[in-house]
Structure 1
Amino acid sequence: MTTDPDPCYADPRLARIYDPFAGDREDLTAYIEIADQLGADKILDVGCGTGALALRLAEGGRTVVGVDPAAAIVEIAKSRDRAQQVTWIQGDATSVSGLGADLAVMTGHVAQVIFAEDDWKRTLQGVHDALRPGGHLVFETRRPEGRPWERWAANDAPHILDIPGIGPVTQRCEVTDVSLPLVSLRYTYEFEVDGEVVVSDSIIRFRDRDEVELTLAAHGYRVVEVREAPDRPGREFVFIAQRAD
């Protein structure tokens, strides 16, 4: 993963409002179903964020490790109910070598946040080293042919939430640059309680299916299946890859 996390994960004030703006996370259900289908008992959540998926996976008695490079977001995860059921690590995929996981997951478009090619290669290798022989890696990525950045640019209305304990917060999103395969986004948050404005700039990378499959093969994986994201049909691919020992 990237060495310097986006401010939305690293800034303590933004980390506290991540979950309310993320919404109900319907996308996570598909990952739980895949974990069940694969019979995975030991799971690594790469880019775990506030731990929404890690905690749901741990509820079934699984051993779960959540890793994320942003200290502020890891602290939020540690503060959640039943957080002791998960092992939390501030770091990246290279921090968990030899874990022996049955399954590693990257949700919330983590694969696209890792936009630098060297970081992407290190992540794939780090996950490979954290999986047991025959273990699986599952993640989703937006399909570039859908050109979602055009939809984002057209929908520039502010999003306002009244967050308990924090008050009203206004979020605005702007597409600041499109230089494919990279798209730059700027999120601006205004806190009504004191008028503070916090800006978070992000870069995401769009990889087509062939590129993803080639990089997986180059780092010791076999692509088992490529699915649609059930909550976003036609917009994303979900890759299920196996450590090819």
Structure 2
Amino acid sequence: MLYDDPRLVALYDVLNPFASDTAFYLALAESAGHVVDLGCGTGLFACELAKRGHRVTGIDPSAEMLRIARARRECGNVTWIEGDAAALPFVGAADLLVMTGHVAQVFLDDAAFLATLKAARRAIRPGGAIAFESRHPAARAWENWTRERSSRRIDAPDGCTVEVWQERHAQPDPLTSGRAAFTTHYRFLSTPEETSSAASELRFRTLDELARLLADAGFARIDWYGDWNRAPVDETSRELIAVAR
């Protein structure tokens, strides 16, 4: 989903606050001079990196997301670029390239994802790394994409209360198809009530599929984790977290 509705973009940081994944990536970046945040969104994480002294390049295809990113104060040394992996040859060598927030799953086609990984490999200096996460298919996250299981209420920056929930589209089992489509609904509890929605589709790849793509892109070593505490991957893991060099 490309975020271009200002009302929904305004909710992004509320829906995606700093959490255990943030701590993982911040620790990973400790020794990195230049960090590229590919799919940086509203720039919350990129700015935190910059505040800690890193040089950061934030890249995102959404002009509306970057509008918020560029308006952040005290971001330090951040370069914002509207685009995708095609911009990587122009940003300078990176010590670390991250794709947070399950960005890896928006690449439905293996060829498109492989092209991005290859571009990342060329952009990372020797000894540098790429890091990203993808939901573990075995955790069947899509089973929670119903109003009953996913509904929550948040307070928008303008003070309005918003109910947010996901509804999965009817389709073949993602364990077989590797894909899951859903719609996120936003009910603004104002007077009169307003409702907006945004459709998404995600690719669920296995560890073996991700490892093959990383190897094809030229990454020789991959460390895998099943959660943000760096536990090994097993069938109970909710995440497939890759750190590849």
User: Above 0.5 in TM-score?
Assistant: yes
Aligned to 1:215: 213
Cα distance, 1:157–1:213 mapped onto 2, change above 3 Å: closer
Structure 1 residues without counterparts, runs of 5 or longer: 1-5
> Given the alignment, which residue of 153, 164, 168 partners 1:171?
164
Q: Structure 2: 5+ residue runs without aligned partners?
A: 232-236
SS across alignment from 2:40: coil
Are the aligned partners of 1:225 and 1:240 in contact in 2 as well (CA < 8 Å)?
Answer: yes
**TM, length-normalised to structure 2:** 0.88
Preserved contact between residue 216 and residue 223 of structure 1 (Cα < 8 Å): no
Aligned-residue CA RMSD in angstroms?
2.0
Identity %: 35
Q: TM-score, normalised by structure 1?
A: 0.88
* Contact 2:48-2:75 within 8 A present in 1 as well: no
**Which residue of the partner structure matches residue 234 of structure 2?**
none
Distance 2:195 2:131 in 1: 36
Aligned length: 234
Q: Is the 8 A contact 1:95 1:126 kept in 2?
A: no
| Deviations 1:120-147, CA, capped at 9 Å, x for gaps | 1221122122212332101111111121
The yes-or-no answer on 1:235 pairing with 2:238 is yes
Matched with 1:3 is: none
Moved runs in structure 1, 4+ residues, more than 6 A?
Answer: none
Report the counterpart of residue 125 of structure 1 in structure 2: 118
Return closer, same or farther for 1:12/1:84 CA change in 2, 3 Å cut-off: farther
What do residues 66-94 of structure 1 show as CA deviations (whole Å, max 9, x unaligned)? Answer: 00111111111111222353111110012
Instruction: Give 2:71's aligned amino acid.
Output: S
* More divergent stretch after superposition (87-96 vs 142-151): 142-151
Pick one of 56, 62, 66 that aligns with 2:58: 66
> Does 2:188 align with 1:191?
yes
Correspondence list, 1:65-144, <5 A: 65-98=57-90, 99-144=92-137
